[in-house]
Amino acid sequence: MDNNTTSNEYVRGTLKTIVLNLLAEHDRMYGYEITQEVKERTGGAIALTFGALYPVLHKLEQEGMLLTESVEVDGRLRKYYSLTSPGSEAARNKTNDLERFIDAVRLLLAPKNLATE
């Protein structure tokens, strides 16, 4: 792993939130589009593999968070994902939870003298 890529262990723990958050911003997205959006926004620091992404999309669909729609594009079927109402609510909740967690971790990692000011 090079220094520009974030550890997979952190990505795995936040992948559901990342996917829900992206889908909350877009009406619908397909898998490759999700991977490219993550790569672009993070300057390549987070590179999602299809092997990590598709099981999460499938699980979110099973949990009733996503709807899927297959559309023929250039003679091939492309599967689009969009949020259900519970998915939209989960996106908000998980994003808020993750933001609070990130703030708490920043406090833990800050030098002690800065954290107490």
What CATH class has 8-109?
A: mainly alpha
Interacting residues of 115 by C-beta distance below 8 A, sequence separation 6+: 107
- For 59-92, the pLDDT digits (tens) are 999 999 999 999 998 999 999 999 999 999 999 9
Where along the chain do its domains lie? Answer: 8-109
Q: What is the pLDDT of residue 12?
A: 79
Q: In the predicted model, what is the mean pLDDT of residues 24-42?
A: 95
Q: From CA 99, how far away is CA 46, in angstroms rounded?
A: 17
9: pLDDT strictly greater than 90: no
Lay out the sheet containing 66-73: strands in order across. 29-30, 76-83, 66-73
What pLDDT, on a 0 to 100 scale, did the predictor assign at position 116? 55
